[in-house]
Amino acid sequence: MRPGRLRTAAEDPPGRVPHPVLDRLELIRFLPVFRSITAHHGAMAYLLGINALCASEAAAVRIEDYTDVLRGHRVLHLVGKGNKPATMPLTVPVLRVLEACRGTRTTGPLILRSLSGEPVDRRDVYRMVQRIAKTAKVRRHISPHSLRHAAITNALDAGVPLRDAQILARHADPRTTEHYDRARGNLDRHGVHLFTAYVAGV
């Protein structure tokens, strides 16, 4: 493959199964079902499906990790792949769900197992996502990474610039984020339109 050229689906390694991606309507259905399960399921759904966390990152979130305010935003501090620290803002809908999950607790792991009250691990995250998918009537096999993938893909579909989507995903290389852009060949979205309007004073 030539340097700089993106891998196509046909060039993926044999046997690799792509993660199913929730479209916008499926994601909208997926997120609020915690009301019929638990707030802990809701917190998991929002951290994966809105903030694009990995399963291990979501399981590791502690209440103390999102108490800071930075430039007027409540923020979540986390440590991602390669032990790289990251800070991301929490939007109001996400914060509401996290606060419902927290309850009256002030410290400790945020998301707990329903029966034992013990912190969740990666296997618990997988089971929680499966239960939410069943409740949301999403018939396909959905994994925690499917939700992270959906967050990045739907952000790009919503018009979030590639650089900002890269920051959301915490990808080191923008070419990784480009793989998530289903409309990267859409000429209506080409940057020349916005730039022309800018220099023309329109």
Residue 80 has pLDDT above 60, yes or no: yes
- Inform me whether the pLDDT recorded for 104 exceeds 90: yes
The hierarchical CATH code for the domain 18-200 is 1.10.443.10
**Contact assessment for residue 152 and residue 49, using Cβ atoms and an 8 Å cutoff:** no
pTM of the model: 0.82
Question: What's the whole-number mean pLDDT along residues 110-118?
Answer: 93
Please state the domain extents for the chain: 18-200
Residue 12 has pLDDT above 50, yes or no: no
Give the distance from CA 94 to its chain's centroid.
11
The number of CA neighbours under 13 Å toward the Cβ of 139 is 0
Task: Calculate mean pLDDT across residues 113-118.
Answer: 91
Please give the pLDDT value at position 34: 75
pLDDT at 123 over 90: yes
Mind listing the pLDDT tens digit for each residue in 152-191? 999 988 889 899 999 999 998 999 998 888 766 666 666 6
- The mean pLDDT of the chain is 85
Determine contact, residues 41/128, Cβ cutoff 8 Å.
yes
Checking 167-173 for CB contacts under 8 A at 24+ apart, the result is 168/51, 168/52, 168/88, 169/52, 170/52, 170/80, 170/81, 170/84, 170/86
Interval 30-35 mean pLDDT: 84
Distance CA(162)–CA(157), nearest Å, equals 10
Residue 107 has pLDDT above 90, yes or no: yes
DSSP 8-state secondary structure symbol assigned to residue 6: P
